[in-house]
Amino acid sequence: MTYAAGRHFLQIPGPTNVPERILRAIDRATIDHRGPEFGALGLEVLAGLRAVFKCQTPVVIYPASGTGAWEAALVNTLNADDRVLMAETGQFATLWKNMAQKLGLQPEFIPGDWRHGADPAAIEARLSEDKARAIKAVCVVHNETSTGVTSRIAEVRKAIDRAAHPALFMVDTISSLASMDYRHDEWGVDVTIGGSQKGLMLPAGLSFNAISDKARTASKQAKLPKSYWSWEEMIAANKTGYFPYTPGTNLLYGLREALQMLLHEEGLDNVFRRHMRHAEATRQAVRVWGLEIQCLNPAEYSNSLTAVQMPAGHSEVAFRKVVLERFDMSLGSGLGKVADKVFRIGHLGDFNDLTLLGTLAGVEMGLELAGVPHRKGGVAAAMASITSAPVTSSVSPVRSAA
């Protein structure tokens, strides 16, 4: 039997469920990427992305996964053996650090317990020590997808400023962009990295760099070899809406639709409030179950996913297998240091109250069927949380038809 009735619950913390409007927009004949229609498309999506990043300076789009945009940020701004200060917030911070090493940089990794965000004080301390200004960049993951912990970017900015350190500030927003508030310009970030497959509700395949003037200036001196990722050809071609090499036209159709929905229909502030409501309800459920939220500091809770610790002696792999086979729901696995110790509930992207409650019901029933000790009532608590939440965005009775 290959047909599983009903819709799969894709509740990993990304790639997220792609709305039918976006899939349908992608499902359209490709056009000439050098013709006039394409230029109009390019200008439209580039402008929309700047609104999402809250940035006046250029955003560039790569036909690549988010991992590529990490690489782009580094190779455009740095030189071989440059020292880079990074914060160990979890698996993705670790992978980014490993990438820096592979690219010939010298990352310094401020250790972390995977239950807290980057520590502004530690960053300030390290930068203050760096009298020689050997550190060329500070790299932080805004929302650590492996732990459900956010880092307080505005505070990290202040820490850098207090140290009066000239390092570039680079932030990964792959799993927070368009789900949680983020302000590239206001927070003084130099390079922000984003991807298409999370809050932007697209399939994977596009990734982004938002680039400050300072970063761009740095890029003129940066000598790491680069071609595909090079900002300058990209920014030059983008002025008229085109790209220096073949763009991912069909995903750009989807991006246009996503930007229309996020910016012009629901509105970013409503999007953020929706994610907050779902995250809060999820945490209420976890607490009732008697399980522990991986994130220890409520000020650092992620609104796009919740990582949950398994009780000692219980395997998240086994638990998720039950949930997948019995309820056709994919949950996020434990990664790296927390492999088989935490599972992750994605509640980001194109998501609503009832799908959240179906998701939490699947977790609660899965805990029971997998024999994981827990208290019942998590779903009920989440329902109470939802019904008592302020209605921030009423659902329109007339859903748009694409």
Within 53-72, the residues that bind a second copy by CB under 8 A are 62-68, 71
Confirm or reject binding of residue 310 to a second copy (CB under 8 A): no
Confirm or reject binding of residue 81 to a second copy (CB under 8 A): no
What is the rounded distance in angstroms from the CA atom of residue 24 to the CA atom of residue 381? Answer: 36
Sheet strands side by side (includes 59-62): 59-62, 207-211, 191-195, 168-172, 135-141, 83-87, 106-110
Among 43, 51, 99, 318, contact with a second copy (rule: CB under 8 A): 99
**Nearest distance from C-beta of residue 339 to a second copy, angstroms:** 12
Q: Which residues pair with 19 in a beta bridge?
A: none
Confirm or reject binding of residue 289 to a second copy (CB under 8 A): no
Confirm or reject binding of residue 24 to a second copy (CB under 8 A): yes
Q: Which range touches a second copy (CB under 8 A), out of 5-13, 114-122, 185-193, 304-312?
A: 5-13
Number of residues assigned to the chain:
402
**Nearest distance from C-beta of residue 51 to a second copy, angstroms:** 16
Residue 239: CB atoms within 10 A of its CB come to 11
Among 47, 121, 236, 395, contact with a second copy (rule: CB under 8 A): 395
**Nearest distance from C-beta of residue 137 to a second copy, angstroms:** 16
Are residues 359 and 335 in contact, defined by beta-carbon separation less than 8 angstroms? no
Interactions with a second copy, residue window 346-375 (CB under 8 A): 350-359, 361-362, 364-365, 368-369
SS3 label, residue 233: helix
Q: What's the number of CA atoms in the CB half-sphere (13 Å) around residue 383? A: 8
**Nearest distance from C-beta of residue 136 to a second copy, angstroms:** 15
**Nearest distance from C-beta of residue 284 to a second copy, angstroms:** 14
Instruction: Provide the 8-state DSSP code for 300.
Output: G
What is the rounded distance in angstroms from the CA atom of residue 32 to the CA atom of residue 34? Answer: 5
Interactions with a second copy, residue window 221-240 (CB under 8 A): 224-228, 230
Among 89, 147, 173, 197, contact with a second copy (rule: CB under 8 A): 197
Confirm or reject binding of residue 204 to a second copy (CB under 8 A): yes
What is the rounded distance in angstroms from the CA atom of residue 37 to the CA atom of residue 135? Answer: 44
C-alpha distances out from residue 173 to 151, 350, 391, Å: 10, 17, 27
Confirm or reject binding of residue 5 to a second copy (CB under 8 A): yes
In the bound state with a second copy, the residue whose beta carbon lies nearer, of 218 and 255, is 255
Among 242, 253, 272, 289, contact with a second copy (rule: CB under 8 A): 253
Burial 180-218 (b: 16+ CB within 10 A, else e): bbbebeebbbbbbbbbbbbbbbbbbbbbbbbbbebbbeb
Among 103, 177, 308, 342, contact with a second copy (rule: CB under 8 A): 103
**Nearest distance from C-beta of residue 58 to a second copy, angstroms:** 19
Confirm or reject binding of residue 9 to a second copy (CB under 8 A): yes
Confirm or reject binding of residue 268 to a second copy (CB under 8 A): no
Are residues 367 and 319 in contact, defined by beta-carbon separation less than 8 angstroms? yes
